[in-house]
Amino acid sequence: MIERHASKAAPHRGGFNALEVMSALAILSIATSFAAELPRGVLRRERVKSAAREIQSVVLATRMEAVRRNTKVVLHVDLEKRELVSWAERGTPNFVQDPDEKTINRYGIPGAVLFRGADGRIDGPDAVSFDTYAGDRRLADRLVFDGDGSLVTPQAENSRLPAKPRSYGPVVPYASVDCPPSRCRGIFFSDHAGGRPGRNLFRVSVDGAWNVGRVSLLKWVPPEEGGNAGETDFAPSPWRWVD
């Protein structure tokens, strides 16, 4: 007769001890904070890139409307209402939207961007440097395209054409410009974090000889990132990101 004896296995202890739990929580906390920070930075970057291209597209669309209608079309950047509004001039141009001048396009400015000049001032007088027409300084923050697609030249000191960089290279390639604060035209805006302006500063403008209407989108290259010393260089994509 064979006797069967039940094996006496050691009792299984479920769960983890306190040290294991604390170690796991520490690793989880580090991994979670890293995973949360990465998407936040990427999301902010993609939002400001999208807003930059949309603003450039609105300027391009305004130029196209001027050519299509064969008349002057104005794009007003309203910093207070945070919107871009365009209309076609009727009769003698006064660069103001009169009651009989219907809105062509109205674009709400995304919250992802802050308008600020190269001098750092948010919503300051140089954040949108397309100022003064027909000698009237009140006619500011607006681009005017003629029926042939050319830009009506703004007359203010802060609305000049940019200069050429002193030297070109991988970080400041051809098509870059030197745009000194308060002496260079453009629509300037940056990203922000918690309401504080970031250092990723963009410029949408209409440059070129004879104001031919070429609409550009450039990004500031700080000197410590490879920009020329003593200049305020803006470069085309691909861009380097800071912060």
Q: Which residues, in sequence order, are CB contacts of 215 under 8 Å at separation 6+?
A: 56, 59, 60, 63, 204, 205, 206
User: What's the pLDDT score for residue 240?
Assistant: 83
The two three-digit tokens of residue 120, written as one number: 């750092």
What is the pLDDT, as a whole number, of residue 2? 44
pLDDT of residue 35: 47
pLDDT given for residue 136 in this prediction: 97
| 226, two tokens | 């490879």
Model confidence, pTM:
0.82
Ordered per-residue pLDDT tens for the chain, 243 residues: 444 444 454 554 555 555 554 565 556 555 555 445 556 667 778 888 899 999 999 999 999 999 999 999 999 999 999 999 999 999 999 999 999 999 999 999 988 899 998 888 888 899 999 999 999 999 999 999 999 999 999 999 999 999 999 999 999 999 999 999 999 999 999 988 776 788 899 999 998 655 566 899 999 999 999 999 999 999 999 988 876
Strands 186-193 and 128-129, sheet pairing: antiparallel
Q: Long-range contact list for 206-209, CB < 8 A, 24+ apart? A: 206/59, 206/63, 206/143, 206/151, 207/161, 207/162, 207/177
pLDDT at 42: 77
Domain over 18-235 is classified CATH 1.10.1660.10: no
